[in-house]
Amino acid sequence: MSDEPETVAPSATHRRGDATFKRWIASAGILSAGLIIGGFVLGDGLVRMKAAERTVTVRGLAEREVTADLATWTLSFASTATNLQSAQASTDKDAVAVREFFERMGFPADALTPAGINVSNYTDNGTVFYTVRQRIVLRTEDIDRAQRAVRNQAELVRNGVVLEDGSGISYTFTGLNSIKPAMVAEATKDARASAEQFAQDSGADVGGIRKATQGYFSIEARDGEAGGWGVGDTPFKKVRVVTTVDFALD
């Protein structure tokens, strides 16, 4: 009989167990590597996100003085009488006087447009009174001529035309779209100047724009509302826009 140990072949069960263990070891290694890489990526992302928070929000202003290029003058006049025909005849006479006035001022006939007729009545001590009101609108791009007409409107009064309250002229600037791009650029430049001052005080440098918001454009009388009866507006305007810009700080 031999004294050598007997060699026993591994069973199928043992072989499957070894393979499973090896796969588990491999999976654990992959998972560990993934966690390490993921932690690095997450940490790097947090660093970048923190850097992204280094911003400064400032506002930039741009203003420009312009002259109106459209004048609109609504003239309202009325007449009251105890019968409708008389009241109508009186306002028709006023309408002729208004048209003749603007003709003398050098306006073409098509610059004037009838804006409607209104009739109302009331009773006083048993007598019915009729009021006929007419409106005529002057619309012109000749601003200088329109201003001369306003200055000479007393001539209408001398011809018997009594203008009602609300008959003031208004001036409009219609060229806003042509100056918008330049004004937005000016406002952004003004915002960057403010950001650079802030950065200098805090020991940082101004980077690129992270976000920008354009405010509303406003058009107002340059010297405030003119006021006064028969005036109501001025052709000299001030256009204003404010932008809000987020700059990165490096």
For CA atoms 92, 136, 74, 128, the dihedral sign is positive
Distance (Å, rounded) from C-alpha 183 to C-alpha 178? 10
8 Å CB contact between 43 and 216: no
pTM for this predicted structure? 0.69
Q: Is 219 found in the same domain as 165?
A: no
**Could you tell me if 219 and 145 lie in one domain?**
no
First to last CA, the chain: 88
190 and 229 share one domain: yes
Residues 188 and 157 in one domain: no
Dist CA 136 CA 96 (whole Å):
11
Q: What percent of the chain shows pLDDT beyond 90?
A: 58
Is residue 98, in this structure, part of any structural domain at all?
yes
Across the range 175-189, mean pLDDT stands at 94
Range of the domain at 16: 11-53
Q: What is the pLDDT of residue 43?
A: 43
Q: Number of structural domains, the chain?
A: 3
What's the CATH number where 137 sits? 3.30.70.2970
**In this structure, are 77 and 140 located in the same domain?**
yes
Task: Report yes or no: 112 and 119 within 8 Å, Cβ to Cβ.
Answer: no
Query: Are residues 123 and 129 in contact, defined by beta-carbon separation less than 8 angstroms?
Result: yes
Say whether pLDDT at 35 is over 80.
no
pLDDT tens string 97-122: 999 999 999 999 999 999 999 999 99
Q: Is the per-residue pLDDT at 40 higher than 50?
A: no
Q: Which residue bears the tokens 């060699």?
A: 7
Residue 96 lies in a domain: yes
Establish if 186 belongs to a structural domain: yes
Bridge partners of residue 202, in order along the sequence: none
Domain C-terminal end among 169, 196, 222? 169
Burial of 179 by CB count in 10 Å (0-12 exposed, 13-18 middle, 19+ buried)? middle
Ranges of beta strands (E only) in the chain are: 55-67, 70-81, 112-124, 127-140, 169-172, 206-214, 218-221, 236-249
Token pair in block for residue 144: 């200088």
pLDDT at 202: 79
For the chain, the average pLDDT equals 82
- The DSSP bridge partners found for residue 215 are none
In a domain, 6, yes or no: no
pLDDT per residue over 200-216, tens digit each? 887 888 888 888 888 88
Nearest residue to 55 via CA among 244, 185, 190, 187: 244
- Read off the pLDDT of residues 118-168 as tens digits, 9 standing for 90 and up: 999 999 999 999 999 999 999 999 999 999 999 999 999 999 999 998 888
pLDDT higher than 50, residue 65: yes
Q: What's the CATH code of the domain at 190?
A: 3.30.110.170
Predicted local distance difference test score (pLDDT) of residue 228: 44
Q: How confident is the model at residue 66 (pLDDT cuts 50, 70, 90)?
A: very high
Is there a single domain that holds both residue 82 and residue 161?
Answer: yes
Strands 169-172 and 218-221: unpaired
Looking at the structure, tell me whether residues 230 and 113 fall in a common domain.
no
Residue 4, in any domain of the structure? no
